Structure 1
Amino acid sequence: MTRQRLEAVLSSLPPVAVAVSGGVDSMTLAVLAHRFLGPAAVEIFHAVSPAVPVDGTRRVQLWAEREGWNLVALDAGEFADGRYRDNPVNRCFFCKGHLYGAIAAVSRRQIVSGTNIDDLGDYRPGLDAARSAGVRHPYVEAGIDKAGLRDLARQLGLGAVAELPASPCLASRVETAIPIDPEALLAVDAVEKLVIERLGVQTVRCRIRRAGVVVELDAPELAALHGDGELVAAITALLPSDLAGRSIAFEPYRRGSAFLGAGA
């Protein structure tokens, strides 16, 4: 039923430009749209940026080859915007605004995103940018939540993609009002990969805060971590010079814990 509802929404749209980050939401939408509507009706766009994990870009490229997508990789240009780099509460508005503007500059198709109904309960300035750009959200229009789209991903045979943990852009790891620095984002990505490999965990966040660098883990993994000096040293070695001298702490994972919402 979920698939039929989504296909009905896609059928009602003109040819689409799918914005794909590499996460389960947008990847599932891209796969279904391309298979259902056909290559002539679908273009896939992926922004390559220091804020996008390298693994996400590789995943998009791999599936583009598998599925025969018309993939366009682009630089959305958000790092040229001082408003974005200043990392205000509404940073995502500027990021998404640049993304949708870059797509619209090279495609006249209807832009669609992987936003689902669970996303509507969060503070997401990017949705304001989407509204300004006339972006459509097929999952929302079909009434599909995160669990529903994961089930759809499994039905489509997306394998490990269906089980990907939530992974917002790397800029979300930087506490609000600390400037976004490309070198720091590359280090955040490297630290998270290191911790995943060393501890065999799925959920990890490397946060940059005023007080220092914090690595967040789920409670069981955090409880099993005792005095791992080698891990701290390995993390320190990956940090740029302005962060390497800061304290490194391990804390329980909290969604959005580096983000100060409106009024905070």
Structure 2
Amino acid sequence: MSLHALQHRLRQIGPAAIAVSGGIDSLTLACVAADLIPDSVIFHAVSPAVPEAATARVRTFAQDRGWHLNVIDAGEFSDMHYRANPVNRCFYCKTNLYGSIAAKTKSPILSGTNLDDLDDVRPGLIAAKDHNVQHPYVDAGIDKPGLRRIARDLGLGDIADLPAAPCLSSRVLTGLRIEPGELQAIDRVESRLRPMLPGADVRCRRLAGGYKLQVSADVLDRMQPSETEAILAAATAALGHEGTLLGLSSYRRGSAFVQ
């Protein structure tokens, strides 16, 4: 069973520092590791690129489950390489993250990377290798469906069905400078729309001419004109004076990423 394989790997590693973003992958890993090895420490980085809901989720889990939580500022917004938003932006993000964690602990650093992540373009994995970060899901042969099953088996509630939610900087077209105010606007828009579109993938992309909404194709196809109007009105209100809304289209994974 995948859970047993994961537990076996975590026992081999021992007390660790677990980097938790607030998504299903790292939260599930933290739950398993902290229950198995109470000396484990959970690290969560806060910045304009991290949705407020993700930080709130981590704090709730930490309080409910008695985690040793260390909330840090990884400092990526002081890194001009990161702010320039190059193709390998994630490398600079993770370099700052893992460097900040390593400065606070001598324990092995663990990430929520799973097998499916190895099939995608992940500059952050290079930074992980540079800092000797370990990936227990990969070691245990666990992919995304497998870790969702683990979350359900552990009774982790709604997080088992959380849609993928990369950092807010991933919404910004490659080459456009990362600006905190724009990320906050993106977070406001997505937070406003998710309750209106439960279970759907929702993205607010920062493009050269403004902001573009993207929603799961199946949901978009079923949307009535009045619903579309309501979505656009809510997004415009949440965006405020930050920029121009360019409309609504089908969700395409990684469509702000340009190689």
Per the normalisation by structure 2, the TM-score is 0.95
Counterpart of 1:133 in structure 2 is 131
Q: Which residue of 2 aligns with 1:192?
A: 190
Question: Hey, what does 2:238 align to over in structure 1?
Answer: 238
Q: Which of 222, 234, 247 is the matching residue for 2:220?
A: 222
Aligned mates of 1:74, 1:199 — CA distance in 2: 32
Deviation of 1:25 after TM superposition, in Å, equals: 0.3
1:103, CA displacement in angstroms? 0.4
How far apart are the structure 1 equivalents of 2:25 and 2:199? 21
Mapped to 1, the partners of 2:179 and 2:224 lie a distance apart of 29
Q: Does the residue aligned with 1:139 lie in a helix, a strand or coil? A: helix
The gaps in structure 2 that reach 5 residues or longer are none
Q: Which amino acid aligns with 2:113?
A: T
Percent of paired sites with the same residue: 50
Letter matched to residue 8 of structure 2 = A
Q: Give the C-alpha shift of residue 6 in structure 1.
A: 0.7
**1:87 and 2:71 are equivalent in the alignment:** no
Q: CA deviation at 1:202?
A: 2.6
Separation in structure 1 between the aligned mates of residue 230 and residue 65 of structure 2, nearest angstrom: 42
Deviation at 1:247, TM superposition (A): 4.1
C-alpha displacement of 1:7: 1.1
TM-score norm. by structure 1 comes to 0.93
Residues 21-170 of structure 1 aligned to structure 2 (within 5 Å): 21-37=21-37, 39-40=38-39, 42-170=40-168
| Closer, same or farther: CA 4–252 of 1 in aligned 2, 3 Å | same
- Distance in 2 between residues matched to 1:146 and 1:94, nearest whole Å: 25
1:43-80 C-alpha deviation (Å, 9 max, x unpaired): 00000111011110010000101110000000000000
Tell me by how many angstroms 1:183 deviates: 0.7
Count of residue pairs brought into register by the alignment = 257
Partner of 1:7: 7
Specify the SS of the correspondent of 1:12.
helix
Residue matched to 1:176 = 174
Tell me which moved more, 109-118 or 190-199: 190-199
| 2:236–2:245 CA contact under 8 A, matched in 1 | no
